[in-house]
Amino acid sequence: MWTTLSKTVRAGTAIAVRRNFCTPVVNIFDRKAKRLQRERAARRDDVELYDYIKEEVGWRLADRIFDIKRQFQNAVDLGAGRGYVTNHVLGETVQRLTAVDLSPTMLAQIKGTPGLDFTVQEMDEERFAFEENSLDLVVSSMSMHWVNDLPACFRAVNRSLKPDGVFIGAMFGGETLYELRSALQLAEQERRGGLSPHISPFTQIRDVGMLLNRGGFTLLTIDTDELVVGYPSMFELMYDLKGMAESNAAFSRPLHIGRDTLMAAAAIYQDMYARVSKDDATGLEQQGVSATFQIIFFVGWKPCATQPQPAERGSATVSFKDLGEVITKKKQ
């Protein structure tokens, strides 16, 4: 359904009608199911065994915060989880940090770093609510890919940032787990004659920049990296995904998958994406499979008059075709 809002303005005898059309948000992910998944994962006795992906990405995001040569007075870790960024941020870089997440059990396990003044707050990422122009930094690690309305979330973050505030984040990209997706699709098409969405959809890197621009950010920096992890078989991968709280949470997810389909998918996975590694202890070769996790990193700034501005059109004094000669002269 389309919502139409109209406003009539009278100017003399003329009547101007302005209509604003709003596209409704389609909820793809079940946020209640995602909250339960995070709570169950956080209550496991061996929860730290499944943090290897998120810990690595969180450390990389914290390193990007250190690259910005300023001290942030008030920051928020959006979708903090078990503190994958908060546990690496130093008090010399951030004076005060608020870690927010959907899962209270995960928030209770955040340790922080010595000297860091941090607090925790239970909050849904889709209902990000901080005072306008109150934050210097918002960082989000591995939670944005579960948000239904990314444009609205980005606008809320932009609204809460002070001018020249920065938004740094990372999320799973569209190529994540393409091996598992392909194996399940081929197996189900063979056994059932159709396909089901067993893997949640992910944002494509080409869309992230557009969404950030729509959210009001400027001076964008977007890059991607891939983490390829080896597993003994498809089943260990699926078990680890459950421990990471990264199981499928789409409303359209099937609640059951047949054993014959799973066995066929495991055989297809092993045949198409086999991985041979050598055991460091014994020196023997081990058979396994590989899984790809595509990570999209992004940095966006809230516009400010003090930021670098592009030069006026036509103000250049050197042509691009002469750049080689200019660089050569400077070296001499």
The tens digit of pLDDT for each residue in 228-276 reads 999 999 999 999 999 999 999 998 888 888 899 999 999 999 999 998 8
Tell me how many domains the chain contains: 1
Residue pLDDT, tens place only, 132-164: 999 999 999 999 999 999 999 999 999 999 999
Q: How confident is the model at residue 332 (pLDDT cuts 50, 70, 90)?
A: low
Please report whether residue 314 resides in a domain: no
Please report whether residue 310 resides in a domain: no
Please report whether residue 48 resides in a domain: yes
Q: Give bridge partners of residue 14 from the DSSP assignment.
A: 11
Please report whether residue 109 resides in a domain: yes
Exposure string for 71-93, b = 16+ CB within 10 A, e = fewer: ebebbbbbbbbbbbbbbbbebeb
pLDDT of residue 24: 66
Q: What is the residue whose two structure tokens read 């005072």?
A: 131
- Cβ proximity of 301 and 221 under 8 Å: no
Please report whether residue 198 resides in a domain: yes
- Token pair, residue 184, equals 């399940």
- Cβ proximity of 230 and 40 under 8 Å: no
Show the domain range for 163. 31-303
Q: How confident is the model at residue 22 (pLDDT cuts 50, 70, 90)?
A: low
Please report whether residue 317 resides in a domain: no
Question: What CATH number is associated with residue 116?
Answer: 3.40.50.150
Please report whether residue 26 resides in a domain: no
- Cβ proximity of 111 and 190 under 8 Å: no
The pTM assigned to this predicted structure is 0.84
Please report whether residue 225 resides in a domain: yes
Average pLDDT over residues 173-195: 92
